[in-house]
Amino acid sequence: MVVFSEAELLKCIVHKVGNKSRNESLFTSERSLELTEDILDSLHKYFFKPFRKQQDFYKFTHNSGDTSRNDLFHYCDMLFHDQSKFEEISMQIARHLFEQGTHPQIKTGECCVAFFDNMVIEGEPVEAVGIFKNESKDQFLKIVDGHSQINLKPDEGINTNKLDKGCIIFNTEKDSGFRLLTIDANAYDTQYWNEKFLQVVPDATDSFYTAKTFEMVNSFANEVVNEEEAPQERIQMLDRTVKYFEEKEKFDVDDFVDEVIQTDAYKEQFKDYKQKFQEDNHFEPREEESFQIDEKRVKESKKQIKSTIKLDGQIQIKLNFNNESQVDHYLERGFDNEKQMNFYKVYFREEKH
At 109-139, the pLDDT tens digits run 999 999 999 999 989 999 999 999 998 888 7
Which pLDDT does position 113 carry in this prediction?
98
Given 137, 168, 202, the domain boundary residue is 202
What average pLDDT does this structure show over 221-243?
78
Q: Answer whether residue 324 shows pLDDT above 60.
A: no
Exposed (0-12), middle (13-18) or buried (19+): which is 143, by Cβ within 10 Å?
Answer: exposed
More confident of the two residues 233 and 340: 340
Mean pLDDT is lowest, of 17-26, 196-205, 262-271, 303-312, for 303-312
pLDDT band at residue 233 using 50, 70 and 90 as cut-offs? confident
Given 202, 232, 251, the domain boundary residue is 202
d(CA 70, CA 62): 6
pTM, 2 dp: 0.76
Domain membership of residue 151 (yes or no) is yes
How many domains, in total, are found in the chain?
2
Domain that holds residue 85: 2-202
More confident of the two residues 189 and 150: 150
At 62-92, the pLDDT tens digits run 989 899 999 999 999 999 999 999 999 999 9
Domain membership of residue 25 (yes or no) is yes
What average pLDDT does this structure show over 243-252?
92
What average pLDDT does this structure show over 155-182?
91
Residues 339 and 226 in one domain: yes
d(CA 165, CA 100): 14
Given 181, 202, 223, the domain boundary residue is 202
Which pLDDT does position 145 carry in this prediction?
81
Domain membership of residue 166 (yes or no) is yes
Q: Answer whether residue 245 shows pLDDT above 60.
A: yes
Q: Identify whether the C-beta of residue 144 lies closer than 8 Å to the C-beta of residue 152.
A: yes
Of 57, 66, 97, 77, the C-alpha closest to 196 is: 97
Q: Answer whether residue 313 shows pLDDT above 80.
A: no
SS3 318: strand
Residues 130 and 257 in one domain: no
Exposed (0-12), middle (13-18) or buried (19+): which is 62, by Cβ within 10 Å?
Answer: middle
Residues 72 and 114 in one domain: yes
Which pLDDT does position 348 carry in this prediction?
82
Domain membership of residue 198 (yes or no) is yes
Residues 271 and 196 in one domain: no
Domain membership of residue 353 (yes or no) is no
